[in-house]
Structure 1
């Protein structure tokens, strides 16, 4: 989300979590890291992590939180098992001062219960998925898929049947790329295709496959990466999401990494993670993948992009 969204209550913040994650969550623990009036980082933890290695979770949480000046935290645990959720919340609360916690809540998806306030107004409060905050988020272009599994499926590429129907596009794309042996010519063509894709909200099948084939080389790939800017990151992500959905596995890793890079710039850590996970399955030694995975683990803020590449501001 790049436009200001106003949340006035725990109900509002809970309603926004799916739009911050990119999908609806029914099990897990979410932490919103806030500074001033802004959500700087959204973290999601599997509940198993708290029972398997609570000290490691606490250490990772503290490491990430230490990057922010005077942060405050909104904690929300989702589960049908209240004891499991509250145990996880307690583990994080142990490393926080009380005044650092905006709210700590358990939710079963239908109601929420505060761990900080035992008054009736904060116990078994109905969840509202149609708050004014959600309306503002949707109007700003945010969306939330039904589950993380649905998000994962969106980066899996075409089925074998779809690939058979795209053989003509693959052949034409390969021929076009072969007609541009010079790296600088390929970079120019990548810039042209990306610009067109952003302006037209997508490319034709042949052009999208051609783009994937061109970024197989490092120079053209980096040209596409350096064209990204935070204000247009969502459109870049949409373009590379389209490309990933069309190309076979052997062409997919560079587009997946570019999708992850654009998703990171857009603050969409869930999409970034799904794209990187599939890229890792296909080619764990790919160089750009390693860099992006380090950025994900360190929770590098998208604002760092302007420092890394000032011309992108």
Structure 2
């Protein structure tokens, strides 16, 4: 048994409202909201429960593929690891798909949980609008043909939606950040060539022995481009011209320019920032997707849209697996850090810490007690 990608484990912050999971239908209804996306077929999800405070502390999931019993055991060990980290002593397992795929994984998980001292509260398999419990011995409440369920009969979806949680299809999320195609992609390819040539012209004779003047010029032009793009987005006019979009992609390679964009992302106008960096991410060429993808992931995290965060981080990983800003956001998700606790740094603070000649921000420099990658 193998996974299509690494096991994903996300902490559930205390800011997430209490979802009462009194029945198997409640558990099934809660999973998409805790994950932020609807689980795929042939996947397994684990909810780690702290019995003392009766809260779900983390959610882990992975896709299942055929494999050996030893591979199933290793996968189970990885899925059970977060229980100790989050001090959870109970768990809920939900597998999605046919028994031939789900049961071997469930058996390995139950053994791994027992070895770790974790008690399963329930173990479910879901397929075709029905669920089966691996723990219930009664054929009256858990017949062999399964139990039909309707998540709309649970109060969980209404509670989750009222709290601002969303459950979206992964395909929908991927579509929101997918690269543009057709004539628009061709225009972007041509614009990127022009942007790279413009960047190359910044090199001067002094740059042969070092990159100081080139880096300064790139930062000046980049900061100006970012400020103009943000200002336009605040007016409801994110950039649409291929040359402007391609130039943004190129200048965001500079971490100072990327940080300028990061510093402008404020929660009170978060929808405009999400639209802006979605636009840039979808249009730039693949080599330039890391920075706008990470900026979109951060904005989506501030917005509380976990599905969009994951989709943006996936685009970043495809371009640059070790991109530091994306790693920071991923770490915040895994540790359950609430966006409300983020202590933002301002453009003024950034200008004081890393000044860019000719692109100063008027005003007193502010201190920022947060951190940067």
The TM-score with structure 1 as length reference comes to: 0.73
Give the direction of change, closer, same or farther, for the CA distance of 1:291–1:88 in structure 2 (3 Å limit). Answer: same
Query: 1:224 and 1:125, CA in 2 relative to 1: closer, same or farther beyond 3 A?
Result: farther
Aligned to 2:337: 302
After superposition, where does 1:1-313 map in structure 2 within 5 Å? 3-4=16-17, 6-8=19-21, 9-19=23-33, 20-35=35-50, 36-48=53-65, 51=68, 53-79=71-97, 81-97=98-114, 100-119=119-138, 120-123=140-143, 124-130=146-152, 131-146=154-169, 148-164=170-186, 181=217, 183=219, 186-187=222-223, 190=226, 193-194=229-230, 197=233, 203-206=238-241, 212-225=249-262, 239-262=276-299, 271-284=308-321, 287-288=323-324, 291=327, 295=331, 299-303=334-338, 306=342, 310-311=369-370
| Alpha-carbon distance, 1:108 to partner | 0.4
What is the alpha-carbon distance in structure 2 between the residues aligned to residue 253 and residue 144 of structure 1? 25
Q: Which is higher, the Rg of structure 1 or of structure 2?
A: 2
Matched residues, number:
307
Which residues of structure 2 form unaligned runs of 5+?
A: 1-11, 203-215, 345-367
Contact 1:30 1:45 in 2 (8 A): yes
2:61 and 2:286 map into 1 onto residues whose CA distance is 28
After TM superposition, give the deviation of residue 89 of structure 1 in Å. Answer: 1.3
Report how far residue 27 of structure 1 moved: 2.2
In 2, distance between residues paired with 1:239 and 1:201?
9
Unaligned runs of 5+ in 1: none
Higher alpha-carbon deviation: 256-265 or 188-197: 188-197
Answer 1 or 2: which has greater helix percent: 1
Change (3 A) 1:232 1:138: farther
SS at match of 1:66: helix
Tell me the CA shift for residue 101 of structure 1: 2.2
